[in-house]
Amino acid sequence: MLEVNALVKRFGTCTVVDGISFSVAEGEVVGFVGPNGAGKSTTMKIISGLLNANSGSVTIDGILFSDSPRAYLGRLGALIESPAFYPGLNARDHLAYLARVRGHYSDALIGNALNRVGLDSDSRKPVRKFSTGMKQRLGIAMAILHKPKLLVLDEPTNGLDPAAIVAMRDLIRQLAESGTAVLVSSHLLSEIQRVCNRVVFVKAGRVARDQKIQGDNASTVKMFVRCSNPAAALDVLTKEDFVFEVQPSEDGLMCTVSNQSVAQIGIVLVRSGLDILELSPAKGDLEHTYVSEYGSGMSEGLK
């Protein structure tokens, strides 16, 4: 679906994106996370065709924007920062205009897009009278009007009240279940954890980590391990078949194992002569990973 390969973007002498690579599959929701200035928005603008990269490539279904802009954009829906509106038009008029420009006008399609984001398809209220949350929902409706294969969302819950945030979460899940690939950036890590299958962490313009998110009913569990020799423990656990993933964190190791194999962690470490200082379920998994990756001083990423 979406393939981002070795993307580089420079502004003057400043390299903002430095070799970013990742993918998003059909029906997958991938979070794009990092502190301000990490290169998230620049990358999403390149994916959306708003900026050109200095090198590297982005494809949707194998199509490059430079080779076939119409085919590429026909597969893409995006909400980047604040969408632009005509203040005097209502929500339906905005979607009708887009539909006519794209050559696929349909009352049913317009009504469905507005209903999915919780806007009244019959309202004549002009956008200049919309709240911030209503404008955000209209931006989403404009992005999904043509049923894109890839949806790129930059801070989609900005300005939404708690009920609307839940509705947005449900909408993203529904789109993914219908086969849409979704790339979403947000500072609300709790929302990323609830709605995403994977998280791509970016740091100083590079991918720092690509991590799967454990679901509520998962057969695996993520454990935090702190022992006398972290390097030796990493080597031991990497070789064990029951350990699906092990990564260093700020002060220990994060291991993903099956629910039935948790006790095996302690057994293999003790047999290897390592003293276990802590073995516990990971708390606040995504926030723990964020802090270990960027440091506790990056508090703006946890708001």
The percent of residues above 90 in pLDDT, for the chain, comes to 56
Verify that 154 and 277 share a domain, yes or no: no
Verify that 203 and 220 share a domain, yes or no: no
On average, the pLDDT of the chain sits at: 88
Verify that 166 and 259 share a domain, yes or no: no
Distance CA(103)–CA(93), nearest Å, equals 15
Identify the domain boundary among 179, 211, 243: 211
| Global pTM value | 0.75
For the ranges 9-23, 108-122, 211-225, which has the lowest average pLDDT? 211-225
Identify the domain boundary among 211, 244, 262: 211
Verify that 164 and 258 share a domain, yes or no: no
**Per-residue pLDDT tens over the stretch 72-128:** 999 999 998 777 899 999 999 999 999 998 888 899 999 999 998 889 988 999 999
Verify that 28 and 167 share a domain, yes or no: yes
Confidence at 214, pLDDT banded by 50, 70, 90 = low
The percent of residues above 70 in pLDDT, for the chain, comes to 93
Q: Are 301 and 35 in contact (CB under 8 A)?
A: yes
Mean pLDDT to the nearest integer, 188-206 = 89
Q: Are 181 and 27 in contact (CB under 8 A)?
A: yes
List the CATH number of the domain containing 195. Answer: 3.40.50.300
For residue 236, the enclosing domain spans 215-302
| Beta carbons within 8 Å of 187's beta carbon, 6+ residues apart | 155, 300, 301, 302, 303
Verify that 273 and 157 share a domain, yes or no: no
Mean pLDDT to the nearest integer, 29-54 = 94
Identify the domain boundary among 165, 191, 211: 211
The winner for highest mean pLDDT among 49-58, 96-105, 224-233, 253-262 is 49-58
Verify that 94 and 158 share a domain, yes or no: yes
Rg (CA), the chain: 22
The number of distinct structural domains making up the chain is 2
Question: Of 276, 231, 240, nearest to 258 (Cα)?
Answer: 240
pLDDT of residue 244: 87
List the CATH number of the domain containing 224. Answer: 3.30.70.980
Verify that 152 and 30 share a domain, yes or no: yes
Residue 296 has pLDDT above 80, yes or no: no
